[in-house]
Amino acid sequence: MCGRTCLTLEPKEVQCCCKYQKTLQAKSKQPEYRNEFNCGRKYQPSHNIAPTDLSPVLVSAAHFNEDMDSADRVIVPMMWSMVPRWHKGDYRKHGLTTNNCRLENLVKSKLFSPPLNAGQRCVILCEGFYEWQTTKAVKASERRAFYIHMPQNEKVKIEDKSTWDMSNTGIALLKMAGLFDVWEDENGDKLYSYTVITLESNQKFSEIHHRIPAILETEEEVTQWLDFRRTGVNRALNLLKPSESIQWYSVSNIVNNSRNKSDQCNKPAGKSIDNPKTNLMQRWLLAKKRNNEDFDVQGSSSDTIVKKPKYEA
């Protein structure tokens, strides 16, 4: 399954990381970023993206202009949790669980087969996703959280943005296969939303969870998945398999609460990295902590009770 992701890049940085070539001989180019939909909602970079949040998604440009080649790409912010096109009323109250969809059920699903057959395939972009270990018999609140990401260049540390070279090719994003649909409100405003396709884990990932998102590891796989005119449904589905390339490490349980957007969410457990852009509240808390430590050194002490956030998967 996939219940939380991380993407802290601004739109222009996402474009930089998504350069592509239509053919081997063609020059690389950036996909257009379209932001005119979604009922006024905008994508907000975050270390802890949860269902119903918006995040950038790659789709074929032909979905927006029939004259475009289906191999051309655009980036569109979409809401995570697919809203069926036939739903009436508040889009937040359709009552269905559409964060993820099972690969095994797609073809026969009354909910997901219409967008699948319409070629509405997409690629969800993220720096990584979070997963909670469910293969050990422990209480939900005690499950270990992990951050899963793609391998990076030798000098790049996925948890440390100071090591990223955004002036060139950026970082290796993790790209998940998904489906999207388009819902319209009573005023005709469009909301784009997506679901992440999952499948049975391979041996590598099964120690953490029995399900895994369908991750597209190569540019060729991304191209075929998006190019709905040249790649039929069966051929596209045959592309999807458990990733053998992903890497992961354990993170703090602060990520359990979806309201916690701290830049410490994706840091290795027990490790904190200084960030010059840390918000004012975090800087104030750090200064307060240091003051307390200075006070303790002088001979006083105090006990602090830390209330752990509730687990949210």
CB 226 within 8 A of CB 60: yes
Alpha-carbon dihedral sign for residues 286, 251, 126, 185:
negative
Lookup result for tokens 């105090």: 302
Q: Are 229 and 206 contacting, i.e. CB atoms less than 8 angstroms apart? A: no
Q: Which of 18, 101, 122, 131 is catalytic?
A: 131
Between β-strands 100-102 and 190-200, what pairing exists: parallel, antiparallel or unpaired?
Answer: parallel
Distance CA 255, CA 262 (A): 8
Say which of 2, 6, 16, 101 is annotated catalytic. Answer: 2
Residue 158 is encoded by which pair of tokens? Answer: 């996925």
Token pair of 265 as six digits: 């969410």
Nearest to 87 by CA among 76, 74, 98: 98
Task: For residue 299, list its beta bridge partners.
Answer: none
d(CA 118, CA 299): 70
Q: Which tokens in the block code for residue 86?
A: 């036939």
Give me the count of residues in the chain.
Answer: 313
Q: Strand order of the sheet with strand 145-149?
A: 46-49, 4-7, 128-132, 145-149, 247-251
Nearest to 196 by CA among 286, 262, 283, 126: 126
2 labelled catalytic: yes
Q: What is the H or E stretch that residue 176 is in?
A: strand 174-184
Q: Active-site positions?
A: 2, 131
